[in-house]
Amino acid sequence: MQQLFLKLIIFILLFLSASGFAQKTVIRIVSEKSTDPCSFANVVLYDQNNNYIKGSIAGSDGTIQIDIKEKTKFAVSLLGYQNYTDYISPGEEKTVNLKLSYIGINEVVVTGQYTPQPVDKSIYKINLISSRQIEERGVNNLAEALSNETNIRLSVDPALGTSLKLQGMSGENVKFLIDGIPVIGRLGGNIDLTQINLDNVDHIEIVQGPMSVVYGTNALAGVVNIITKENTQNDNILNFTSYTGTEGAYNFSLSGSVIRNKHTVSLYGSRKMFQGIDLTDSTRSVEFKPKLQYNADFDYVYRNKDLKIKFKSSFFDEEIRHYGTIQGISVTDMYFFTNRFTNSLQFINRFSESFSFDFLGSHSYYDRQTRDFRKDLTNFEVREIGDISQTEYSNIMARGNFLIEKPNSKFIYQFGFDINIDEAKGDKISNGAASMEDYALYLSSQYNIIKNLSVQPGLRFIYNSKYGAPVVPSINLLWNFFDVLSLRTSYARGFRSPSIKELYFDFVDINHDLHGNPDLLAETNNSYNTSITYNFEKEKYLIKIEPSFFFNDGKNVIDLVNLDPSSNRYKNVNVGRRRTIGGELSTTFLFYPNITLNAGYSRTGVTYSASTDASKLPDYTFYNDYSINTKYNLRKRKLIFSVYLKYYGKTPSLFYREGVYFLINKNSYGELEVSITKTVWKDRISAVIGGKNLLNNKYIGYENGSLSSSPTAYGRYYFIKLNIKLNTI
């Protein structure tokens, strides 16, 4: 009997032990709205020090079984839903209810922030373009991504590329950043937006209004900050993208990333080819030039608790061909070669609970060459003729921020330094070489007056090697009246010294006659911005309404002005005074689970005067923009239908004659694009097919006929874009 009892005890102990070992730790992932399973969601595990352990993918029923021996942190992510983070213990079964991710809401932004913030908590008004929007539209470059933004106007020059206007001000007043690093290489005062590749981009942040306190010169109208992708959740990633369009574009890219404990290494490369388009079919010299672009990125990241060190190297190479007219038995072609090479180092560390420091330093090099090649049509021999025309630019940038944020304190303090050293040399630069140095100290403080009211004043002290610079102040206010209603208002003074190109660069070819001006004065601007955001969410729908208003008063405004409408001669000049005034109304309506509707309207007024006297300003000239976008999402079928429509009202351009500045309006036109997105194989493969410029725009003329029409786009075209993403553990 004792032996039988002993055997029974042993059996029970073994059973309980086996039961303990067989305990299942299960995470069940469902949609909060419908309780449908979130198939193939990504789940990543982290240890007590927040270091990556491993990742996996939930099954088609939205469940995943994990093997853990202690309480463990996990993160869940899925396209179209907000990220979720929690802890789970061994043997626990937990249900995760994922919330839908509304575009532009709950996204994290970094531009001008003390620390990364949800976009709706930012003290600045920030428009955000997500990687999901970029993917669903089949976007290839920054020009295509910004083309649907309501208060942004794009203009196309077949040789100089695509540029923009923001709040009625040209792209020379907009700071373009990639991960906080300034993009150099402006032609005609603007960055060619088609040179900025977006295949490896996480999202784009657009801040309207002066950001001169934080980012210095070129930030009068705002900042466009492109945030590239970082691998923070998966062990290994391999991504392939290809694009083919009837406009003659053939693109592909390949990227990969590996995480090993605290180290991450990522590589990216792409080739983009455009064969060129002739709108008239009458000459060998096409309006839109053949173009070949290469991009390559390498970055290494080290993470350890509150420390992050990142080194990144980026390379861009472009070749543009201008085909000449056949003369007898030979033809001469002009080639434009562009290289941009940037190396950067980032250091972020939280030394204590209340003190942190981040540093970003970079060296950027830009080179543009013009070379002539003559082809003998009898034997097809090609030889280079004439001298190489070459211009080189370099920029050294160093920015450091110190942040003091004591627990439970109503004050947050930030102070830092910003150094920019620009150099240029080449045959198109007066005297062959030029340089400019800019050193600045800035400080700001955020005071949380009450729970929902914050004010942030700031000052920037500047030393410029060529221009006396004033102290630049700013003040921003954020008031969250209720959970659904918030007010942002700001004042900032902007200062912009002329760039080296504006001072010394001359560019003359068959289509252009652009000249710098060494006598330019520095530009100042006073800017006022206000916006109201209203979010209203019910069980089945969400409504977001956001009106905003701006007023800019600039003196000694630097602009590239046509000196005679009958010629192509342009020169950088100081316009005594320029004012821009206007507003924007954007709305979003989301009806769960399928329909998203966005609509926007903006109205901008501009006025110029040769005098700085405000009483001599003529009446404003106003122009309007309209946009409407709709998306129908069949979530269960993983199919998305999208339509994007933007209408440009008459666009004023500035001209000068006989001591008077005047505006000539370009005719209005509309742009329409349609796309269909389908994902398969656990969201690893996505395909986008669609059409762009479906209203078939080519030339846009001026309303009074005094100027010839200029090429705006290369007509209607269709495309297919394929993306394959593989995650391995």
250 lies in the same domain as 270: yes
Q: What is the mean pLDDT of residues 367-384?
A: 92
Which of 68, 98, 128 is the C-terminal boundary of a domain? 98
- For residue 18, what pLDDT band results from cuts at 50, 70 and 90? very low
Beta-sheet strands, E only, within 246-306? 249-260, 263-274, 291-304
84 lies in the same domain as 117: no
Contact yes or no for 39/61 (Cβ under 8 A): yes
Q: Within a 10 A sphere around the Cβ of 597, how many other Cβ atoms?
A: 14
DSSP state letter for 1:
-
302 lies in the same domain as 438: yes
* 3-state secondary structure at position 142: helix
pLDDT of 661 reads 74
**Which strand (E) or helix (H) includes residue 7?**
helix 2-21
- For residue 21, what pLDDT band results from cuts at 50, 70 and 90? very low
Which of 98, 131, 152 is the C-terminal boundary of a domain? 98
- For residue 706, what pLDDT band results from cuts at 50, 70 and 90? low
Measured between its terminal Cα atoms, the distance across the chain in Å is 54
- pLDDT tens for each residue of 314-331: 999 999 998 988 888 999
193 lies in the same domain as 341: no
404 lies in the same domain as 487: yes
Instruction: Give the C-alpha separation, 325 to 179, whole Å.
Output: 43
φ, ψ dihedrals at 501, nearest 5°: -65, -40
Specify if 16 maps to a domain: no
Within 13 A of 346's CA, how many CA atoms are on the CB side? 16
DSSP state letter for 129:
E
562 lies in the same domain as 451: yes
Specify if 14 maps to a domain: no
Specify if 5 maps to a domain: no
Instruction: Give the C-alpha separation, 278 to 340, whole Å.
Output: 28
Instruction: Give the C-alpha separation, 95 to 41, whole Å.
Output: 13
Sign for the CA dihedral angle at 180, 183, 184, 190 comes to negative
Q: How many domains does the chain have?
A: 3
- Radius of gyration for the chain, computed over Cα atoms and rounded to the nearest angstrom: 28
- pLDDT tens for each residue of 501-545: 888 887 776 666 777 888 999 998 999 999 999 988 887 788 999
Instruction: Give the C-alpha separation, 85 to 99, whole Å.
Output: 12
Specify if 570 maps to a domain: yes
Strand order in the sheet with 161-166: 152-157, 161-166, 169-170
Q: What is the CATH number of the domain that holds 68?
A: 2.60.40.1120
Contact yes or no for 334/159 (Cβ under 8 A): no
476 lies in the same domain as 540: yes
Q: Within a 10 A sphere around the Cβ of 236, how many other Cβ atoms?
A: 15
- pLDDT tens for each residue of 201-244: 999 999 988 788 889 877 888 999 999 998 876 668 899 999 99
12 CB-contact burial (10 Å; exposed 0-12 / middle 13-18 / buried 19+) = exposed
Is pLDDT of 156 > 90? Answer: no
What residue numbers bound the domain in which 39 lies? 21-98
Is pLDDT of 657 > 90? Answer: no
Is pLDDT of 658 > 70? Answer: no
- pLDDT tens for each residue of 607-656: 988 888 877 888 999 999 999 999 999 988 889 999 999 999 988 877 77
Q: What is the CATH number of the domain that holds 138?
A: 2.170.130.10
